[in-house]
Structure 1
Amino acid sequence: MRLAPLSLVISLSLFTWQAHGQDTNTVSSIQAEIDVKQSEFKELSSVLDKHLKQEKQLQEQLELLRSRSISLEKERNQALDAMNDLYRRLIEDPTLNISAAQARYQKAISDLQQNKDDIDLQLVAIASHRKDIEAIRVSKHTLVNTLESLKQQKNTARVERLRNEFTREGTVEVNHTVNCKRTETLAACEQRGQSQGLQKATKRFMDQIFANITEQRVVEPKRNMSGAQVQVLSSHVVSSSFSGQGNYNTNLSVTMRGEVNASRLCNLLNLDNSFCSDYGSAIPNVYQPVMNATYNEPVVRFKDNKNTPSSTSMVTNRDTVQVNTPKKERLFQLTLRSNVRDDEVYINGVSYGSTRLDVSLPAGNYDIEIRKSGYQTYTRRLNLKRSQTVRANLRKETISKSNVNQPRSTQPSNSNTSSLSARNLASTSGMVVIPAGEFEMGDLTGNGLANEQPVVKKILSASYAMSEKEVTVAQYNEFVAETSYQTEAESGQGCAYYLNGEPVWEASLNWKNPGYEQKDNFPVVCLTYSDAKAYADWLSEKTGNEYRLPTEVEWEYAARAGTRTDYPWGNDIGNNQANCGWCGSEWSNSSPAPVGSFSANRFGVYDTVGNVWEWTQKTAGRSDVAIRGGAWNFAPTLARASTRLILATDFRANYIGFRLVRER
C-alpha cells in the first residue's frame, strides 16, 4: 500500500536563545573594540607619518644651517684677512680709517655664532622630535599586538558561539499521518508512524539549528562535514488515533538537544585548528539520525529486539516513546601528530603505523612511543579519560658539527661566490650555513602589515653563517664577565615588560633579572641595539672573525628557508609548534623558552617563530631599527616570517633578544 502524503506540523521552541544572544554580544563587543583599536592605529599611523615628515623638514633645515656655516666661516675668514691687511697698512698711515673692516668682521663673527646657536637649537628640536617618534612607534607596536590579540579572542568567541548554537535545546511537535499496510498489525503501523514522525522531527530540528546559526552563510556549505547530531532528551505521544480508512495519526512532542563534533568547528568557520584545541572530547554515544542517501532524510536506529526480524524496534505505550541505544564500552579518539614524517607509533609496544594517526581506544593508561631514525624517541605515559590530541616534537640526535653537511640552497647559486666550505664558515660553535640563493621578501600571503609591502625579489649571492639559536644568557654572561660591560638597562631606567597591552618600564629589570625565572639556556633579553652590537664586537675581537647583527634580508631569507608561507610549516600557526602568545606551548604568555625547544627550519635555524623578537642590522642613514620574529607574549600573527616592527635603538624589553651572522 502506498504511503499517504505526510502531514507535518512543527512547533519549535529553543531554550537557549538568551545564551546565544550573549555569545553574539561577546563577538560583537570584541569586534567593536577591534574597530576602536583599528581607528586608534590608523590615527597613530597618521600622526607618525606627520612626525616623520616634520623630522625630515627639520633635518633639511639642519643641513641648510650647516651649509650656511660653511659660507659664514668663509666670510669670517675673508673679513679677518681684510682687517689684518688694513692693520698692516695702518702702521705706515695712522690716518687710515679701518672702522668698516672692523664692522664687517664683527658682523661675520656674530652671524657665525648665531648660526651655531641655531644649529644647537635645531639639534635639540630634532632630538625632542625623535623621542616623540620613538614613543609613537612603541605605542604602535603595542597597539598592533593588542589588535592581533583581540582578533584571537574574537575567533575563540566565534567558535564558542557556534558550539553553543549547535547544542541548543528545543521541543518539536509533530502531527504525522501514515497509511497502514494490509500486511501489518495495528501495533506495527503505530510503531512505524511514530518512528517516522520522530525522524521528521529530528530532521526539522537540525534544519532549524542550521537556519539560525549566526554565520550560516559560512557554515552551511560545509554542513555534511559538521558531524552535527541530535540527542533526544524525551518524547511522548500527545494524541494518536486510527481512522476507518486505515490511517494512523499521531501527535508527538519531542524534546531534543543538538550535538556537534567540536573539533570540526574551526573547519566550519575557516579558522586555524588551534582555536579548537580546547575541544578535544568526542561526542557522547547519543541518538543520531543517519541520513538516507536517496531522500536525504534521517533514519532512526534503535536497539535490536529479538522478537522482531527487523533490526529496529521501539518500546511504546499510549503516552511515551522511549529510544533505546546500544550499551557499548565508550571509546575515545586519540589523535597523534609529530613534526616529522615516516615515523612509527607504538602504543603499549604495538606498532600502529606512522603519524598522522587517529585511533579509538577505551579509557585507561597507555605508553606512547614515536620513533624515527636519527631522532630522539618521543615517549609519554598517557591516562586517556577523554578524546585528545598529542603533538610530539621529535628532536634530532646530537651529532658532531664536523659531520653536518651544508644545507642545500633552494635556488641556484654561483659556485664562484659560494666556494667557502661549510666547515670553515660555520667553524664557531652554534653557527649554521645559510646557502646562497634568492627569494621574495615581504608579505606573500596578504596577512601582513603595511610595512611588509611591497614584495621585493632579493638575491643573496654568497652563503653566510648564522647563529642556529638566539644568543643565550650564558653566552652574554661570558662577555660581561670578561669585559665588565654594563648594559643600558643597568645604567639607565631599567627594562620594559608588557602589562595590559603596554610596555611598562621597571628600573630593577635587566638581562640578569628580566621579570621571570630564567636559566642559562634562555635567550638573553633586556638589551638595546648597542648592547647586542657590543657583544658582536667583543666576539669578533675574541675570535678573529667578524660578527654582526643580520640584515633584514639575511634574517628573513634564513627564517623562510625556501618556503613562501607565513611560518616554516604553513600558513596556520598550529598548536605547540612555537613559543608565542596563544600558540599552545607551556611557555606561551609566561616567558621565553630555552633556545632550541622547538624544531629547526629547513636551514637548521631555531626559534625564528616567536620566543623573542630579534634585533637586525641598522640601515645606513636611519636612526631606527627593525626587530623580527615575534615573541612569547605577542600574537601568533606577529610571528610570521615577514613581520617587522620598527623601534628606536635604545629601546629594551624582556621580549627582545638577538642572534648573529658571521661575515665571510
Structure 2
Amino acid sequence: MRIAPVTFFVTAALLASSAFAQDTATVTAIETELSSKQTELDNFTQILDKHIAEESRLQSQLELLRQRSSELEKEKNQALDAMNEMYRRLIDDPSLDISAAQGRYQQAVATHKQNKDDIALQLGAIAGQRKEIEQIRVAKHTLVNTLESLKDQLSTARVERLRNEFTREGTLEIEHTVNCKRTETLAACEQRGQQLGLQKATKRFIDQVFANLSEQRTVEPKRNIAGAQVQVMSSHVVNSSFSGQGNYSVNLSVTMRGDINGSRLCSLLNIDNRFCAEYGTPLAIGYQPSYPSTFSDTQINFSDEPGTASFITPASNNEVVSVAKLSTPAIVETVVKKTQPLPEKKTLVELTIRSNVLDDEVFINGVSFGSTKLVTSLAPGLHNIEIRKLGYETYSAQLDLKKAKTLRAKLVKKPEAIAAATPTAKTATNVVATDNKPQNKVVVIPAGQFKMGDLTGNGLANERPVVEKVLSHSFAMQSTEVTVAQFRQFIERTGFVTESEKSKGCAYYKNGEPVWEIDYNWKNPGYTQQENFPVVCVSYEDAKAYSEWLSGETGLQYRLPNEVEWEYAARAGKDSEYPWGNEIGRNLANCGWCGSEWSNKSPAAVAEFAPNGFGLYDTVGNVWEWTQKRASQEDVTVRGGAWNFAPSLARVSTRLTLAPDFRANYIGFRLIRER
C-alpha cells in the first residue's frame, strides 16, 4: 500500500533572532569600520603620493639651483676679474669710468648670494616635506596594521555568527499523514507515522537553518561538508487521528537545536583555518540524549551514511527525542526492537596541547594522537603525555584531567643537535676561542634565483610587480635576530650611544597608534625582556654601527642584508606566504593574533619557533628587521612583521618604508656576512 503525500505545517520560526541580529550587527559594524579605515588609508596614500611628488619637485628645483650656483660662481669670478682689470687700467688712466664693471660685480655677488639663500630655503622645504612624509608613512603603517587586524576581527565575527546560526533553537509544528498497511496494526501505523513525522521535522529544520544563514550563498554550495546536525530537545503529539480510509494523521510539535562541526566553519566561509582552531569537536553521531520518548522501549536507527538521519529514542510518554545528521534527502530504513535502558554516558574533558616545535608527535597513554596543535577530548583522570621529535629531548608529563586544560610543552634540543641542517643550507659558526670576542651563529645561504614580490595577490601595492632575481654567489646570514646580550657587548666595549638614548626615545604602539616614549630605549623597551630577546629601539644607523663594530672585532665583513637578499633567504626556496604555506596557522610564529603566548605582548626569545628551510629563525614575526638601503634611497625598508602587527603583514614579501632615524620597540635587525 502506497504512502499518502506528506504535508507540513510550520507554526513557529527559529528562535533567538535577537542574538543573531546582534551577531550581524557586529559583523556589519566591523565591515563599516573596515570601509572607513580603507577610505582613510586611500586618502593617506593620495596625500603621501602628493608629498612625495612635491619632494621630487623640490629636489629637481634644488638641483637646478645648485647647477645655477656653479654658473653664478663662474659669473662672479669673471666679473671680479673684469673689475680688477679695470682697476689696473685706472692706475694709468684716472679718468676711466669703471662703474659698469663695479655694477656687474655687485650684481653677480648679490645674485650668487640670493641663489645660496634660495638653496637654504629649498633644503628647509625639503626637510619639511621629509618630516611630513615620515609622519604620514608611520600613520599609514598604523592604518595598514589596523585594517589587517580588523580583517581578522571580521573573520572571527563571521565564524561566530555562522556557528550561532547553526546552533540556534526553534520549534516546528508538523502535520504528517500516512496510509496504514494492511499487515500493520494500528499501534505500529501510529508509531511509524510519528517516526516519519519526526524525521521530516528535522529535515525541514536543517533546511530552514541553511536558508536563513546570513552568508547562505557562500555556505550552501558546501552543504555536503558542513557536518550540520540536529538535536531534538523535545517533541509531543498535539493531536492525532485515524480516518475511515486507513490513514493516520499526526500533528507533532518538535523543539530542536542545531549543531555544527566547528572545525569546518572556516572551510565553509573560505577563510584561514586558524579562526576555527579554538572550537571543540561537534556533537558526535550516536550521541544518546537523556530525553523521554513517545516510543516506549524502542530504538530507531536510520542509515549513518552522509546526508541521512540517526535517531535514538529512549522510553517515556508523549515525548520524541532524537539526534539527526541531515544535509540531503535520505532513504530511511526503520528497525524496531526491544532495548535495555541506555547506560549513562561518561562526560569527556577537552585537552589542548601545544609545543614550541613543528612536526612533533603526541602520545597519550602510549597512543599516537598526531602533532601539535592538538585538541582532543579524554575521560577525566590520570593521563600520561609524551611529545617526541627527532633531535629533541622527549617531553613527558602526567596530567590529572578534571576540567578543560591547555598544556604548553617546551621541547629542548639535544646537545648534539644542529639547528637548521638542511640539504641546501650549511650551518656555520664563528666561534672565537677567547671570551673577549663575540660569537655569532650564521647559516650559509646558497646562490640561486627566485621570484620576488607578491606571488599570491594578497599583498600591498609596494610588493608589485613580481620580478625575477638572481643571486650569483652564496652568503652567510645570522640565523637569529641580534639579541640584547650581543648588542650589550657592543655598547660596553665602544661606549656607543643609540639615537633613542640621545634623542626623543623610542616609539611604541598605544591604542593602535605609534607614540614616542622618552624613557624607552634598547635597555628599556616598554616590556620585560631577557638577554636572548631580539634587541629593539635601534635605528638604521645604530644597526649599521653594530655591523661595523662586529666586522672590526671578527675580521670578517658584516652588514645589513639588502631587500633581495633578505626575501631570498626568508623564502628559502618556497613560493608560499610563510615557510609552512599560505596560512599563518596557530602558534607557528610570534605576530599579532597568531596564537602564541607572546602575541600582542612582546617579542619572544630568538629561536622559539621552528626555522625555515635555510635554517633562519623568526623571519615571520617577532620583530621587523632593517634592510640595507641603496645609495640613492632616502628611506629604509623593514621586513618580516612583528609581535604586535597583523599576521598578513608577516608575509615574506611585505615591505614597510621608514626614515633611517626611526626606532620602535618592534624593530630590530640581523646581519649577513659577506664571502
Normalization by structure 1: what TM-score?
A: 0.90
Equivalent residues in 2 for 1:550-565 (5 A)?
550-565=561-576
In structure 2, what is the equivalent of residue 81 of structure 1? 81
Whole-angstrom distance in 2 between the partners of 1:72 and 1:201: 95
Residue 224 of structure 1: CA displacement?
2.4
Comparing 390-399 and 225-234, the one that deviates more = 390-399
Q: Is 1:444 equivalent to 2:460 in the alignment?
A: no
In structure 2, what is the equivalent of residue 472 of structure 1? 483
Whole-angstrom distance in 2 between the partners of 1:563 and 1:120: 50
Whole-angstrom distance in 1 between the partners of 2:403 and 2:463: 43
- CA contact 1:210–1:216 (8 Å) conserved in 2: yes
- CA contact 1:12–1:170 (8 Å) conserved in 2: yes
- CA contact 1:315–1:322 (8 Å) conserved in 2: no
Residue 54 of structure 1: CA displacement?
0.6
Q: Is 1:150 equivalent to 2:147 in the alignment?
A: no
Counterpart among 516, 521, 534 of residue 505 in structure 1: 516
Equivalent residues in 2 for 1:477-556 (5 A)?
477-556=488-567
In structure 2, what is the equivalent of residue 646 of structure 1? 657
Structure 2 counterpart of 1:189, which letter?
Answer: C
In structure 2, what is the equivalent of residue 238 of structure 1? 238
- CA contact 2:602–2:643 (8 Å) conserved in 1: yes
Residue 590 of structure 1: CA displacement?
0.5
In structure 2, what is the equivalent of residue 271 of structure 1? 271
Residue 484 of structure 1: CA displacement?
1.1
SS of 2:6 mapped into structure 1: coil
Structure 2 counterpart of 1:352, which letter?
Answer: S
Whole-angstrom distance in 1 between the partners of 2:185 and 2:360: 60
Change (3 A) 1:424 1:11: closer
Counterpart among 657, 663, 667 of residue 656 in structure 1: 667
Counterpart among 378, 381, 388 of residue 361 in structure 1: 378
Give unpaired runs (5+ residues) of structure 1.
304-313, 410-420
SS of 1:12 mapped into structure 2: coil
SS of 2:468 mapped into structure 1: strand
Equivalent residues in 2 for 1:19-168 (5 A)?
19-168=19-168
Residue 280 of structure 1: CA displacement?
2.5
Whole-angstrom distance in 1 between the partners of 2:49 and 2:104: 44
Whole-angstrom distance in 2 between the partners of 1:208 and 1:396: 54
Change (3 A) 1:340 1:586: closer
Residue 143 of structure 1: CA displacement?
0.3
Change (3 A) 1:363 1:489: same
Whole-angstrom distance in 2 between the partners of 1:406 and 1:282: 40
Residue 157 of structure 1: CA displacement?
0.3
Residue 259 of structure 1: CA displacement?
1.3
Equivalent residues in 2 for 1:70-469 (5 A)?
70-283=70-283, 285=287, 292=303, 298-303=309-314, 315-316=316-317, 319-321=318-320, 327-331=344-348, 344-348=361-365, 350-352=366-368, 354-355=370-371, 361-382=378-399, 384=401, 396-399=413-416, 407-408=423-424, 423=428, 429-469=440-480
Comparing 561-570 and 327-336, the one that deviates more = 327-336
In structure 2, what is the equivalent of residue 632 of structure 1? 643
Identity %: 62
Residue 422 of structure 1: CA displacement?
6.8
Change (3 A) 1:340 1:584: closer
Whole-angstrom distance in 2 between the partners of 1:37 and 1:67: 44
Residue 566 of structure 1: CA displacement?
0.6
Whole-angstrom distance in 2 between the partners of 1:342 and 1:636: 21
SS of 1:13 mapped into structure 2: coil
Equivalent residues in 2 for 1:582-661 (5 A)?
582-661=593-672
Residue 302 of structure 1: CA displacement?
3.1
Residue 271 of structure 1: CA displacement?
1.5
Comparing 73-82 and 562-571, the one that deviates more = 73-82
Whole-angstrom distance in 1 between the partners of 2:306 and 2:409: 44
- CA contact 1:378–1:394 (8 Å) conserved in 2: yes
- CA contact 2:427–2:442 (8 Å) conserved in 1: no
Whole-angstrom distance in 2 between the partners of 1:65 and 1:290: 91
Whole-angstrom distance in 1 between the partners of 2:121 and 2:249: 96
Residue 179 of structure 1: CA displacement?
2.0
SS of 1:258 mapped into structure 2: strand
Deviations 1:613-636 (A, max 9, x none): 111101221111111111101100
SS of 1:135 mapped into structure 2: helix
Whole-angstrom distance in 2 between the partners of 1:326 and 1:113: 101
Whole-angstrom distance in 2 between the partners of 1:473 and 1:425: 18
Give unpaired runs (5+ residues) of structure 2.
291-299, 323-340, 433-438
Change (3 A) 1:48 1:661: same
Residue 38 of structure 1: CA displacement?
0.4
RMSD between aligned residues: 2.7
Whole-angstrom distance in 1 between the partners of 2:554 and 2:358: 39
Whole-angstrom distance in 1 between the partners of 2:305 and 2:347: 31
Comparing 86-95 and 223-232, the one that deviates more = 86-95
Residue 353 of structure 1: CA displacement?
6.8
Whole-angstrom distance in 1 between the partners of 2:36 and 2:582: 27
- CA contact 1:280–1:387 (8 Å) conserved in 2: no
Residue 394 of structure 1: CA displacement?
5.3
Residue 367 of structure 1: CA displacement?
2.5
Whole-angstrom distance in 2 between the partners of 1:294 and 1:259: 18
SS of 2:177 mapped into structure 1: strand
- CA contact 2:477–2:672 (8 Å) conserved in 1: yes
Residue 246 of structure 1: CA displacement?
2.2
Structure 2 counterpart of 1:650, which letter?
Answer: D
Normalization by structure 2: what TM-score?
A: 0.89
- CA contact 1:393–1:598 (8 Å) conserved in 2: no
